[in-house]
Structures are given as C-alpha cells and as structure tokens.
Amino acid sequence: MLARIKSIIGRTGAKTSPPNFSVPRGESAAAPREPSPLPHAEPSTVEFPLECLTPKLRSAAEVIVRKTQAPAALAAQSVLSVTSLAVASRTQVQTLGSSANATAAFVTIALSGERKSAVDKIAKTGIDRMIMRLREEHKVAMANHKAALSGLGRGEEKPEQPVCPSFLVTEATIEGAFKAIATGCGFLGWFTDEAAAFWGGHSMSKDQRAKSSGIVSNLWDGSYSVRPRAGQDGDGYVPPTATTINLMFQPTLIRDT
C-alpha cells in the first residue's frame, strides 16, 4: 500500500517526505486477549431469585429493571433495603435471648455504569418524598415557634424549639447517625451509593474503625448505648434503634477497604 501511494505521489510530481507513522509487518495482528476480570467482579452463575420476593416487591424490582436496564440483583437489593427501612421499626425478630429490632445490612458491589445510583434513586422515591414532607412541616413548626417567642412576656418560659425528624443519613458518620437517632424517629437508615466516602472517612479511619464497628454491632444487636459528653443535655442515652444499612461500592474500591 505504501509503495502504491509513493507511486501515485511520484506521478503527480509532489515531493515526498518520510512517513511519521509505521505499519506493522504481516498480514494480521495477534488475536486480542480476553481482559483480566476485575477483583470481586466475577459474574454470578446463578440469577437472583426474584420469585422469592413477595408479589409487590417483585413487581417493583421488575419495573426498575425495565426502566434502568440494570441487573435484577441490583434492583432487588435496593427494593429490599428500602422495605427494611420502612418496616424495621414495626417488626421484632426473636433471638436466642429475647426479641430485637429487625435490623438489616446490605452491601452492593457494582461496576461503574451498572446503574446502581439510578436504581437506588427510584427505589427510594417514597422515602425521599417523606423526607421532603417532614422538612416542610419543620419549616412551618419553626415559623410558629418564632412567632411564639416574639409574643412572650417578660419572665414567661420559652417554648422548646422543634426538632426536624431525621431518619436517613447519606454521608454517614457515627456522630451523624447518633444525631439522627436523637431526633426521635425511632429508626435509622444509612444509604449511600458512594460507600467509599464512608469507608474512607473519619469514622472508618485506622484509629476509629474498631470503635465504629463496635457501635454498628450494638445497633445490629438491638442494644442501647450511654454516651455521656461534656456540654450535652441528659446522660447520653441512645435507645435501641432499628437500623438499615445499604452501602454501594465499586469493585476497585471495595478491594481497598
């Protein structure tokens, strides 16, 4: 091919210059090799058993799969975690010792582009709507509180400031989780589609990892905590709290945790 090009250029009288590229010799290149699989990313040999879900949960998972084209296991995981958050505070499970909160923990490992964020966003639609409603109600309560303060006479007792109910943390830290519990909802959800931010944050640093793991274990066991701190009101009692954890990782990040 190069010889033919040079011949054509020669006939037109154009000046030639050395090519700034090289063509490999031979008729064909070597056959491409299969890419090495990512750590912890080998596909499952068994399909997620959607038929084991209740009819409504299965229907929700299938709709999410059709909407996002995500793997069925990913959709089912998000549906189950949202369901756990919705019912955990109303359900008790029998353990060897006594009954305990129905706490559940989910870890999802999915490749970038497998739609984990889109799946979780759709599954959490009802939760997000409830959070926005609570925040709007809190704005009204704060406005009423401000009006009540302005109408107080000298020496009258100030009304207690309303607290915005909070049951969801998306950039979870141990302190943030306890702050959410203190608002009094009675249940807690740790949901994040970027779990590496939690695992790489302060709560899971080298010095804090054992402490944080112990606290999460207490929540799992349905135990209460007493965390007295300087300057805080009360004795720091944290009641048993039904907790749902849903952490989503990419394979390359879960390897480093």
Q: Over 60: is that where the pLDDT of 9 sits?
A: no
Residue 203 has pLDDT above 80, yes or no: no
Q: How many CA atoms lie within 13 A of 146 on its CB side?
A: 6
Write down all domains in the chain, each with its CATH number in brackets: 52-146+164-227+237-254 (3.40.50)
What percent of the chain has pLDDT above 90? 23
Q: Judge whether 39 and 251 are in contact, CB under 8 Å.
A: yes
Mean pLDDT of 72-90: 90
| Partners of 225 in the β-ladder | 238
Give the 3-state secondary structure of residue 5.
Answer: helix
Mean pLDDT of 180-201: 80
The pLDDT tens digits for 93-144 are 877 777 777 778 888 888 777 888 899 899 999 999 999 999 999 999 999 9
Pick the more confident residue, 97 or 183: 183
More confident residue, 214 or 221: 214
Would you say 245 and 104 are in contact if contact means Cβ atoms under 8 Å apart?
Answer: yes
- Number of C-beta neighbours around residue 237 at 10 A: 11
pLDDT in tens, 32-46: 677 666 555 555 667
